[in-house]
Amino acid sequence: MTSSMTIAIDGPAASGKGTLGRRIADYYHLAHLDTGLTYRAVAHMLISKGWPLDDAAHAIEAARLVDLGQLDKHALSAHAVADAASKVAVMPEVRRILVDKQRAFAAQPGGAVLDGRDIGTVVCPDAPVKLYVTASAEVRAMRRLRDIEGRGGSADPAEILSDIQRRDERDMGRADSPLKPAADAHLLDTSEMSIEAAFRAARSIIDGVLAERNEA
């Protein structure tokens, strides 16, 4: 792996970008940051202190306290936290603080894989590899349902679908750093793809960029 390899992965909720990001990071021996956890950490702090989700002053304070080394994926996995995260994520000052931390992570020697909503467009616009991972809302809702059932839970499929659609709208419709593919992103529609096939497609894109770099 060439030094300073940054891989930016963006996409909507439940598109599979997180799983793909982890697998790519393992395979290429790169550090990995799921940037969604940083927004979730802010939301979690507001919820646990009983502060309203539109309280910008407290959200900013919470964003400053986010420590990338202390992000507890398990504690931040609740559905309510994800939904709340998309509400605090509309605040420009919260984004600015978290984006600074994410950029510092991306700049580490050896490079990194970051996944989120605005990595290719805002956080790492110069990343040599940008992937935009997507799938239809129905497929994403079905995957989420299987996930919940796989962990012994149950949920209403229609509710999951409307949750996903609501979060898509909020993430794609906000004024600051809306979710959209960077102009130079490779699109990966995984609606009809297994995670294995998506991983193979991503590897072939990354290996192509690496080969070009080595020839240059």
Query: In the complex with ligand C5P, which residue's Cβ is closer, 60 or 210?
Result: 60
Query: In the complex with ligand C5P, which residue's Cβ is closer, 92 or 208?
Result: 92
Query: In the complex with ligand C5P, which residue's Cβ is closer, 89 or 202?
Result: 89
DSSP code at position 125: T
How many Cβ atoms are within 10 Å of 115's Cβ, its own excluded? 26
Q: At closest approach, how far in Å is the CB of 10 from ligand C5P?
A: 7
Query: In the complex with ligand C5P, which residue's Cβ is closer, 58 or 210?
Result: 58
Query: In the complex with ligand C5P, which residue's Cβ is closer, 1 or 187?
Result: 187
- Contact criterion met (CB below 8 Å) for 143 and 16: yes
Binding site residues, ligand C5P, CB under 6 A: 13, 35-36, 39-40, 82, 85-86, 89, 116-118, 167, 171
* Residue that the structure tokens 């950029």 belong to: 103
Sign for the pseudo-dihedral over CA of 177, 183, 186, 192: positive
- 74 burial (CB, 10 Å; 0-12 / 13-18 / 19+) is exposed
Q: At closest approach, how far in Å is the CB of 214 from ligand C5P?
A: 30
CA angle at 51 for the pair 47 and 54, rounded to the nearest 5°: 100
Q: At closest approach, how far in Å is the CB of 96 from ligand C5P?
A: 12
Q: At closest approach, how far in Å is the CB of 172 from ligand C5P?
A: 10
Counts for the chain of helices (H) and strands (E), in that order: 8, 5
Q: At closest approach, how far in Å is the CB of 189 from ligand C5P?
A: 18
CA angle at 76 for the pair 70 and 79, rounded to the nearest 5°: 170
Q: At closest approach, how far in Å is the CB of 77 from ligand C5P?
A: 9
Taking phi over 0 as left and psi of -120 to 50 as alpha, with beta for the rest, 11 belongs to left
Take residue 118 and report the two structure tokens written for it.
């605005």
Query: In the complex with ligand C5P, which residue's Cβ is closer, 16 or 116?
Result: 116
Residues 6+ apart with CB under 8 A from 48: none
